[in-house]
C-alpha cells in the first residue's frame, strides 16, 4: 500500500490510502471497510459501559475490525481515574482475548498506562496515538514494547522533529487524527525529518504494519 493512516476519525476512501478509522460503539458505521473500535475516556457513560463493551466484543470477531481503540487514560478530564482505569482494563483484556492491537489515547498518564499493561500481562501490540511528548517519554514507551504514532503534533510542533528521529525505525506509525491535512503531508514531513526518501518512509511504515497487524490485508470496497 502507498500510505497507511493509523488513526483518523474520517474515512476518505482514497485508492492509494489505507485508513484505520476510529469508531465508537454507539455510532458504528458498517460502510467503513477497516476500523478500530473502543470507548474513549472522554465518552465513558457509566450506565452504558457493559452495552458498549458487548458491541466492541462482537465487532472484534470480524476481520475488518483491526484494533481496539481508541481507549486509554486522560488526567485532564473530569471522569474519575478509577473509572477510566476500569474501562481501559476491560478493553485491554478483550484485545488480548481476540489478539488485536490497541490504539491508545494517553494524556499525562503514561506511567499508569505502562503499569496497567504490565499488570495484565498484555502481549498484543500497543500503539500510542498522537504522540506529543519528549524523547525521554518516547524511549520509556519503546523500552516497554509500545509503538508510537505521530501526526497532528508533528505537523504543528517543530520541536517534535528530534523526538520523532529518536524513535527506532521499527516502532513508529503515522496518522492524521483530526487534522485537515492528508496523510501524504505527514509522510513527506516524516521523510524530511529522518533524511530519507518518501519511498523509504513508506517501506518502514508498511513493514511495521505487517508486524503489528499480522499481515492482515486491508479490505477494499
Was 214 annotated as part of a binding site?
no
Listed in sequence order, the residues at least 6 apart from 51 whose beta carbon sits closer than 8 Å to its beta carbon are: 25
Was 159 annotated as part of a binding site?
no
What radius of gyration do the chain's Cα atoms show?
16
Lookup: cell for 24: 465508537
Residue 103 CA, distance from chain mean position = 3
First to last CA, the chain: 15
Distance CA 67, CA 214 (A): 12
Q: What is the dihedral of CA 120, 121, 122, 127, to 10 degrees?
A: 90
Q: Closest by alpha carbon to 151, among 141, 164, 139?
A: 164
Q: Which segments of the chain does DSSP mark as H helices, in order?
A: 49-60, 81-98, 110-119, 135-143, 152-156, 160-166, 183-194, 198-212
Q: Closest by alpha carbon to 3, among 165, 176, 162?
A: 176
Distance CA 205, CA 186 (A): 12
Binding residues for a divalent metal cation: 70, 105, 129, 177
Binding residues: 70, 105, 129, 177
Amino acid at each position: 500500500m502507498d500510505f497507511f493512516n493509523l488513526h483518523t476519525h474520517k474515512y476518505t476512501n482514497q485508492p492509494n490510502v489505507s485508513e484505520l478509522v476510529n469508531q465508537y460503539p454507539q455510532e458504528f458505521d458498517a460502510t467503513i471497510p477497516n476500523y478500530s473500535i473502543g470507548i474513549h475516556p472522554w465518552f465513558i457513560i457509566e450506565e452504558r459501559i457493559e452495552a458498549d463493551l458487548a458491541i466492541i466484543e462482537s465487532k472484534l470477531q470480524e476481520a475488518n475490525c483491526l484494533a481496539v481503540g481508541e481507549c486509554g487514560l486522560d488526567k485532564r478530564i473530569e471522569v474519575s481515574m478509577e473509572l477510566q482505569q476500569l474501562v481501559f482494563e476491560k478493553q485491554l483484556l478483550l484485545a488480548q482475548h481476540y489478539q488485536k492491537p490497541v490504539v491508545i489515547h494517553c494524556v499525562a498518564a503514561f506511567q499508569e498506562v505502562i503499569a496497567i499493561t504490565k499488570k495484565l500481562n498484555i502481549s498484543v501490540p500497543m500503539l500510542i496515538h498522537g504522540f506529543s511528548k519528549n524523547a525521554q517519554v518516547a524511549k520509556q514507551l519503546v523500552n516497554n514494547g509500545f509503538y508510537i504514532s505521530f501526526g497532528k503534533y508533528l505537523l504543528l510542533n517543530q520541536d517534535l522533529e528530534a523526538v520523532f528521529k529518536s524513535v527506532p525505525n521499527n516502532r513508529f506509525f503515522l496518522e492524521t487524527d483530526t487534522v485537515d491535512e492528508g496523510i501524504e503531508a505527514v509522510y513527506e514531513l516524516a521523510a524530511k525529518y529522518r533524511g530519507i526518501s518518501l519511498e523509504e518512509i513508506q517501506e518502514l511504515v508498511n513493514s511495521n504494519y505487517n508486524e503489528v497487524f499480522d499481515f492482515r490485508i486491508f479490505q477494499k470496497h
